[in-house]
Protein backbone atom coordinates (compact mmCIF):
# COMPACT_ATOMS: atom_id res chain seq x y z
CA UNK A 1 0.00 0.00 0.00
CA UNK A 2 1.39 3.42 -0.98
CA UNK A 3 1.96 5.75 1.99
CA UNK A 4 1.42 9.51 1.67
CA UNK A 5 3.81 11.65 3.69
CA UNK A 6 2.73 14.88 5.35
CA UNK A 7 4.00 18.08 3.76
CA UNK A 8 4.68 20.92 6.20
CA UNK A 9 4.07 24.40 4.85
CA UNK A 10 6.48 27.13 5.94
CA UNK A 11 4.27 30.23 6.05
CA UNK A 12 5.91 33.62 5.43
CA UNK A 13 6.95 35.55 8.53
CA UNK A 14 5.10 38.87 8.65
CA UNK A 15 5.30 41.82 11.03
CA UNK A 16 2.17 43.63 9.87
CA UNK A 17 -1.54 43.01 9.49
CA UNK A 18 -2.41 41.19 6.28
CA UNK A 19 -4.17 43.31 3.65
CA UNK A 20 -7.86 42.28 3.78
CA UNK A 21 -8.78 44.27 0.68
CA UNK A 22 -11.72 46.64 0.40
CA UNK A 23 -14.79 47.33 -1.70
CA UNK A 24 -13.83 48.37 -5.24
CA UNK A 25 -13.74 52.19 -5.39
CA UNK A 26 -14.03 53.08 -9.07
CA UNK A 27 -13.87 56.82 -8.35
CA UNK A 28 -10.45 56.36 -6.75
CA UNK A 29 -9.31 54.21 -9.67
CA UNK A 30 -10.49 56.74 -12.26
CA UNK A 31 -8.80 59.60 -10.42
CA UNK A 32 -5.42 57.86 -10.39
CA UNK A 33 -3.01 59.34 -12.94
CA UNK A 34 0.67 58.84 -13.81
CA UNK A 35 2.91 61.68 -15.04
CA UNK A 36 5.23 59.63 -17.22
CA UNK A 37 7.86 62.30 -17.84
CA UNK A 38 8.09 63.20 -14.14
CA UNK A 39 8.29 59.53 -13.14
CA UNK A 40 11.08 58.89 -15.65
CA UNK A 41 13.03 61.94 -14.45
CA UNK A 42 12.74 60.85 -10.83
CA UNK A 43 13.81 57.28 -11.66
CA UNK A 44 16.83 58.58 -13.60
CA UNK A 45 18.17 60.39 -10.52
CA UNK A 46 18.42 57.30 -8.31
CA UNK A 47 21.85 56.17 -9.47
CA UNK A 48 23.46 59.54 -8.79
CA UNK A 49 21.68 60.44 -5.58
CA UNK A 50 22.04 57.15 -3.73
CA UNK A 51 25.51 55.63 -3.96
CA UNK A 52 27.08 53.40 -1.30
CA UNK A 53 30.65 52.08 -1.18
CA UNK A 54 32.87 49.66 0.72
CA UNK A 55 31.43 48.30 3.99
CA UNK A 56 28.11 50.05 3.43
CA UNK A 57 27.77 48.53 -0.03
CA UNK A 58 28.55 45.07 1.34
CA UNK A 59 25.89 45.52 4.02
CA UNK A 60 23.26 46.52 1.45
CA UNK A 61 24.18 43.57 -0.75
CA UNK A 62 23.79 41.18 2.17
CA UNK A 63 20.37 42.72 2.75
CA UNK A 64 19.53 42.15 -0.93
CA UNK A 65 20.34 38.43 -0.59
CA UNK A 66 17.78 38.09 2.20
CA UNK A 67 15.14 39.57 -0.14
CA UNK A 68 15.66 37.28 -3.15
CA UNK A 69 13.01 34.84 -4.35
CA UNK A 70 15.53 32.40 -5.83
CA UNK A 71 13.78 31.19 -8.95
CA UNK A 72 13.84 28.46 -11.56
CA UNK A 73 11.02 28.50 -14.11
CA UNK A 74 12.39 26.52 -17.03
CA UNK A 75 10.71 23.87 -19.11
CA UNK A 76 13.61 21.53 -18.42
CA UNK A 77 13.49 21.84 -14.61
CA UNK A 78 14.19 18.57 -12.82
CA UNK A 79 13.92 17.51 -9.19
CA UNK A 80 17.72 17.48 -9.02
CA UNK A 81 17.97 21.06 -10.24
CA UNK A 82 15.37 22.22 -7.72
CA UNK A 83 17.14 20.45 -4.86
CA UNK A 84 20.41 22.13 -5.87
CA UNK A 85 18.64 25.51 -5.98
CA UNK A 86 17.25 24.88 -2.51
CA UNK A 87 20.73 24.03 -1.24
CA UNK A 88 21.88 27.38 -2.63
CA UNK A 89 18.92 29.09 -0.93
CA UNK A 90 20.03 27.62 2.41
CA UNK A 91 23.67 28.62 1.81
CA UNK A 92 23.61 31.51 -0.69
CA UNK A 93 27.22 32.56 -0.05
CA UNK A 94 30.22 30.41 0.85
CA UNK A 95 30.37 29.90 4.64
CA UNK A 96 33.85 31.37 5.03
CA UNK A 97 32.73 34.56 3.28
CA UNK A 98 29.64 34.93 5.46
CA UNK A 99 31.77 34.35 8.55
CA UNK A 100 34.19 37.07 7.45
CA UNK A 101 31.27 39.42 6.85
CA UNK A 102 29.72 38.64 10.20
CA UNK A 103 26.54 37.14 8.70
CA UNK A 104 26.53 33.38 9.33
CA UNK A 105 23.15 31.76 8.72
CA UNK A 106 22.02 34.20 6.03
CA UNK A 107 19.42 32.73 3.64
CA UNK A 108 17.36 34.00 0.72
CA UNK A 109 13.74 35.14 1.11
CA UNK A 110 12.04 32.24 -0.70
CA UNK A 111 12.38 29.69 -3.50
CA UNK A 112 10.02 30.10 -6.47
CA UNK A 113 9.13 27.17 -8.76
CA UNK A 114 6.41 25.74 -10.96
CA UNK A 115 3.67 23.72 -9.25
CA UNK A 116 5.19 20.40 -10.33
CA UNK A 117 8.29 21.16 -8.24
CA UNK A 118 6.60 22.56 -5.11
CA UNK A 119 6.68 19.36 -3.06
CA UNK A 120 10.33 18.72 -4.01
CA UNK A 121 11.26 22.25 -2.89
CA UNK A 122 9.26 22.02 0.35
CA UNK A 123 11.05 18.80 1.33
CA UNK A 124 14.45 20.19 0.38
CA UNK A 125 13.88 23.30 2.51
CA UNK A 126 12.38 21.54 5.53
CA UNK A 127 13.62 23.07 8.76
CA UNK A 128 15.23 26.06 7.04
CA UNK A 129 12.39 28.56 7.55
CA UNK A 130 12.53 29.41 3.84
CA UNK A 131 9.04 29.46 2.25
CA UNK A 132 8.24 28.06 -1.18
CA UNK A 133 6.45 30.23 -3.74
CA UNK A 134 4.62 28.69 -6.70
CA UNK A 135 3.75 30.47 -9.94
CA UNK A 136 0.15 29.68 -10.76
CA UNK A 137 -3.04 30.44 -12.71
CA UNK A 138 -1.75 29.54 -16.14
CA UNK A 139 1.62 31.25 -15.74
CA UNK A 140 2.90 33.13 -17.71
CA UNK A 141 0.00 34.02 -20.04
CA UNK A 142 -2.87 33.51 -17.59
CA UNK A 143 -5.19 32.33 -20.37
CA UNK A 144 -6.11 28.83 -19.23
CA UNK A 145 -9.76 28.09 -18.28
CA UNK A 146 -10.83 29.90 -15.14
CA UNK A 147 -11.75 26.80 -13.12
CA UNK A 148 -8.36 25.30 -13.90
CA UNK A 149 -6.59 28.45 -12.77
CA UNK A 150 -8.34 28.28 -9.41
CA UNK A 151 -7.72 24.55 -9.14
CA UNK A 152 -4.02 25.11 -9.77
CA UNK A 153 -3.86 27.48 -6.81
CA UNK A 154 -5.47 24.88 -4.57
CA UNK A 155 -3.12 22.14 -5.73
CA UNK A 156 -0.03 24.26 -5.02
CA UNK A 157 -1.29 25.23 -1.56
CA UNK A 158 -1.97 21.59 -0.72
CA UNK A 159 1.52 20.67 -1.95
CA UNK A 160 2.99 23.07 0.61
CA UNK A 161 3.41 26.41 -1.20
CA UNK A 162 3.26 29.30 1.30
CA UNK A 163 3.11 31.95 -1.43
CA UNK A 164 1.29 31.92 -4.75
CA UNK A 165 2.40 34.18 -7.62
CA UNK A 166 -0.70 34.58 -9.79
CA UNK A 167 -0.97 36.31 -13.17
CA UNK A 168 -3.80 38.70 -13.91
CA UNK A 169 -5.78 38.79 -17.16
CA UNK A 170 -4.12 41.67 -18.99
CA UNK A 171 -7.18 42.15 -21.18
CA UNK A 172 -9.13 43.48 -18.20
CA UNK A 173 -6.58 46.29 -17.83
CA UNK A 174 -6.34 47.03 -21.53
CA UNK A 175 -10.15 47.27 -21.81
CA UNK A 176 -10.44 49.17 -18.50
CA UNK A 177 -12.73 46.49 -17.08
CA UNK A 178 -11.76 47.14 -13.47
CA UNK A 179 -14.71 45.26 -12.00
CA UNK A 180 -13.65 42.10 -13.82
CA UNK A 181 -10.05 42.48 -12.64
CA UNK A 182 -11.22 43.07 -9.07
CA UNK A 183 -13.54 40.05 -9.08
CA UNK A 184 -10.82 37.82 -10.56
CA UNK A 185 -8.21 38.95 -8.05
CA UNK A 186 -10.57 38.60 -5.08
CA UNK A 187 -11.49 35.05 -6.06
CA UNK A 188 -7.86 34.06 -6.50
CA UNK A 189 -7.01 35.59 -3.12
CA UNK A 190 -9.78 33.53 -1.53
CA UNK A 191 -8.49 30.36 -3.21
CA UNK A 192 -5.05 30.95 -1.66
CA UNK A 193 -6.38 30.76 1.89
CA UNK A 194 -3.53 31.37 4.34
CA UNK A 195 -0.93 31.37 1.56
CA UNK A 196 0.08 34.88 0.59
CA UNK A 197 -0.73 35.98 -2.95
CA UNK A 198 1.51 38.01 -5.25
CA UNK A 199 -0.34 39.57 -8.18
CA UNK A 200 1.81 39.64 -11.33
CA UNK A 201 0.75 42.57 -13.51
CA UNK A 202 2.97 41.82 -16.54
CA UNK A 203 3.62 45.56 -16.75
CA UNK A 204 5.45 45.34 -20.06
CA UNK A 205 2.12 44.37 -21.67
CA UNK A 206 -0.12 47.01 -20.04
CA UNK A 207 0.71 49.87 -22.40
CA UNK A 208 0.97 52.88 -20.07
CA UNK A 209 2.13 53.78 -16.58
CA UNK A 210 -1.40 54.94 -15.82
CA UNK A 211 -2.64 51.43 -16.54
CA UNK A 212 0.09 50.08 -14.28
CA UNK A 213 -0.95 52.41 -11.46
CA UNK A 214 -4.64 51.58 -11.77
CA UNK A 215 -4.07 47.83 -12.06
CA UNK A 216 -1.86 47.98 -8.95
CA UNK A 217 -4.58 49.76 -6.99
CA UNK A 218 -7.36 47.40 -8.09
CA UNK A 219 -5.32 44.32 -7.14
CA UNK A 220 -4.61 45.78 -3.71
CA UNK A 221 -8.30 46.60 -3.23
CA UNK A 222 -9.04 42.94 -4.00
CA UNK A 223 -6.66 41.73 -1.30
CA UNK A 224 -3.25 41.18 -2.93
CA UNK A 225 -0.47 40.72 -0.37
CA UNK A 226 2.17 41.73 -2.96
CA UNK A 227 2.08 43.33 -6.36
CA UNK A 228 4.74 42.11 -8.78
CA UNK A 229 5.97 43.62 -12.05
CA UNK A 230 6.45 40.72 -14.39
CA UNK A 231 6.53 37.02 -15.10
CA UNK A 232 10.06 37.41 -16.44
CA UNK A 233 8.82 36.08 -19.78
CA UNK A 234 7.74 39.41 -21.30
CA UNK A 235 9.96 41.45 -23.65
CA UNK A 236 10.05 44.25 -21.04
CA UNK A 237 10.14 43.31 -17.37
CA UNK A 238 11.00 45.29 -14.22
CA UNK A 239 12.08 48.89 -14.78
CA UNK A 240 12.63 51.75 -12.35
CA UNK A 241 9.79 53.93 -13.78
CA UNK A 242 7.33 51.04 -13.48
CA UNK A 243 8.61 50.32 -9.98
CA UNK A 244 8.21 53.95 -8.92
CA UNK A 245 4.64 53.92 -10.24
CA UNK A 246 3.78 50.75 -8.34
CA UNK A 247 5.41 51.70 -5.03
CA UNK A 248 3.62 55.04 -5.03
CA UNK A 249 0.34 53.18 -5.52
CA UNK A 250 1.34 51.08 -2.49
CA UNK A 251 2.08 54.25 -0.52
CA UNK A 252 -1.29 55.76 -1.44
CA UNK A 253 -3.10 52.55 -0.53
CA UNK A 254 -1.47 52.42 2.90
CA UNK A 255 -2.24 56.11 3.51
CA UNK A 256 -5.91 55.51 2.67
CA UNK A 257 -6.46 52.11 4.33
CA UNK A 258 -3.66 51.64 6.86
CA UNK A 259 -2.63 48.30 5.32
CA UNK A 260 0.81 47.55 3.92
CA UNK A 261 1.24 45.69 0.62
CA UNK A 262 4.52 44.21 -0.56
CA UNK A 263 6.37 44.80 -3.82
CA UNK A 264 8.31 42.38 -6.04
CA UNK A 265 10.25 43.51 -9.12
CA UNK A 266 11.01 40.51 -11.33
CA UNK A 267 12.77 39.88 -14.62
CA UNK A 268 15.93 41.57 -15.84
CA UNK A 269 17.48 42.31 -12.43
CA UNK A 270 20.76 40.44 -12.70
CA UNK A 271 23.45 42.84 -11.43
CA UNK A 272 24.32 43.82 -7.88
CA UNK A 273 24.32 47.51 -8.83
CA UNK A 274 20.71 47.16 -10.04
CA UNK A 275 19.68 45.64 -6.72
CA UNK A 276 21.18 48.64 -4.92
CA UNK A 277 19.07 51.00 -7.03
CA UNK A 278 15.87 49.14 -6.16
CA UNK A 279 16.77 49.12 -2.47
CA UNK A 280 17.37 52.88 -2.61
CA UNK A 281 14.00 53.35 -4.30
CA UNK A 282 12.20 51.37 -1.58
CA UNK A 283 14.02 53.19 1.22
CA UNK A 284 13.25 56.61 -0.26
CA UNK A 285 9.63 56.01 -1.21
CA UNK A 286 8.32 53.61 1.44
CA UNK A 287 10.85 53.50 4.26
CA UNK A 288 12.48 50.82 6.38
CA UNK A 289 9.53 48.39 6.69
CA UNK A 290 9.77 47.73 2.94
CA UNK A 291 13.36 46.56 3.28
CA UNK A 292 12.21 43.33 4.97
CA UNK A 293 11.29 40.03 3.26
CA UNK A 294 7.63 40.27 4.26
CA UNK A 295 7.22 43.41 2.13
CA UNK A 296 9.91 43.31 -0.56
CA UNK A 297 11.37 40.58 -2.77
CA UNK A 298 13.53 40.39 -5.87
CA UNK A 299 12.35 37.81 -8.40
CA UNK A 300 15.72 36.64 -9.66
CA UNK A 301 18.04 33.77 -10.43
CA UNK A 302 21.34 35.18 -11.74
CA UNK A 303 21.34 38.19 -9.35
CA UNK A 304 22.65 36.11 -6.47
CA UNK A 305 25.74 35.05 -8.40
CA UNK A 306 26.74 38.64 -9.17
CA UNK A 307 26.17 39.74 -5.57
CA UNK A 308 28.39 36.90 -4.39
CA UNK A 309 31.13 38.03 -6.79
CA UNK A 310 30.89 41.59 -5.48
CA UNK A 311 31.14 40.41 -1.88
CA UNK A 312 34.21 38.35 -2.69
CA UNK A 313 35.77 41.42 -4.30
CA UNK A 314 34.99 43.38 -1.15
CA UNK A 315 36.82 40.80 0.96
CA UNK A 316 39.78 40.02 -1.30
CA UNK A 317 40.12 42.92 -3.74
CA UNK A 318 39.78 40.51 -6.66
CA UNK A 319 36.91 39.45 -8.91
CA UNK A 320 36.46 35.73 -9.36
CA UNK A 321 34.98 33.90 -12.34
CA UNK A 322 31.22 33.57 -12.35
CA UNK A 323 31.51 29.77 -12.38
CA UNK A 324 32.86 29.93 -8.82
CA UNK A 325 29.40 31.04 -7.69
CA UNK A 326 27.10 28.56 -9.37
CA UNK A 327 23.47 28.13 -8.36
CA UNK A 328 24.02 24.52 -7.37
Give the torsion through C-alpha atoms of 83, 106, 290, 240, to 10 deg: -70
User: Which of these is catalytic: 63, 69, 88, 165?
Assistant: 165
Give a yes or no: residue 10 inside a domain. Answer: no
Give a yes or no: residue 19 inside a domain. Answer: no
Confidence at residue 3, expressed as pLDDT on a 0 to 100 scale:
34
Owning domain of residue 294: 26-42+54-325
Look up 264 and say whether it is catalytic.
yes
User: Which of these is catalytic: 88, 228, 274, 294?
Assistant: 228
Give a yes or no: residue 138 inside a domain. Answer: yes
Give a yes or no: residue 200 inside a domain. Answer: yes
Mean pLDDT by 10 residues, the chain (328 residues): 45 81 98 96 83 90 97 95 97 95 96 98 97 97 96 98 98 98 98 98 97 98 98 93 98 98 95 95 95 96 94 90 67
Q: What is the pTM of this model?
A: 0.93
Give a yes or no: residue 2 inside a domain. Answer: no
Give a yes or no: residue 20 inside a domain. Answer: no
Instruction: Report the run of H or E that residue 204 belongs to, with start and end.
Output: none
User: Which of these is catalytic: 88, 264, 274, 306?
Assistant: 264
Residue 132: φ, ψ to 5°: -105, 130
Confidence at residue 1, expressed as pLDDT on a 0 to 100 scale:
30
Give a yes or no: residue 230 inside a domain. Answer: yes
Look up 53 and say whether it is catalytic.
no
C-alpha closest to that of 201 among 266, 261, 129 = 266
Confidence at residue 320, expressed as pLDDT on a 0 to 100 scale:
77
Look up 25 and say whether it is catalytic.
no
**Angstrom distances, CA of residue 272 to CA of 58, 132, 212, 226, 307:** 10, 23, 26, 23, 5
Confidence at residue 32, expressed as pLDDT on a 0 to 100 scale:
97
Number of structural domains (the chain) is: 1
Confidence at residue 47, expressed as pLDDT on a 0 to 100 scale:
77
CATH code of residue 160: 3.20.20.70
Give a yes or no: residue 82 inside a domain. Answer: yes
Confidence at residue 203, expressed as pLDDT on a 0 to 100 scale:
97
Confidence at residue 46, expressed as pLDDT on a 0 to 100 scale:
85
User: Would you say 162 and 127 are in contact if contact means Cβ atoms under 8 Å apart?
Assistant: no
Amino acid sequence: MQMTETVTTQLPQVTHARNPGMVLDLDWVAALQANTSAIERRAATLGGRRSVKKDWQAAWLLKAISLIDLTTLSGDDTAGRVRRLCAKARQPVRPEMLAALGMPGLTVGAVCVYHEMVETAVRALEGSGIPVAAVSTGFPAGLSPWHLRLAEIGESVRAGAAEIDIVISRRHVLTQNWQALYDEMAEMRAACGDAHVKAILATGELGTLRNVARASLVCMMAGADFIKTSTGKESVNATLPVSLTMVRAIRDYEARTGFKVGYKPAGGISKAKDALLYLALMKDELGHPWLQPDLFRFGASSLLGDIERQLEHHLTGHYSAANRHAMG
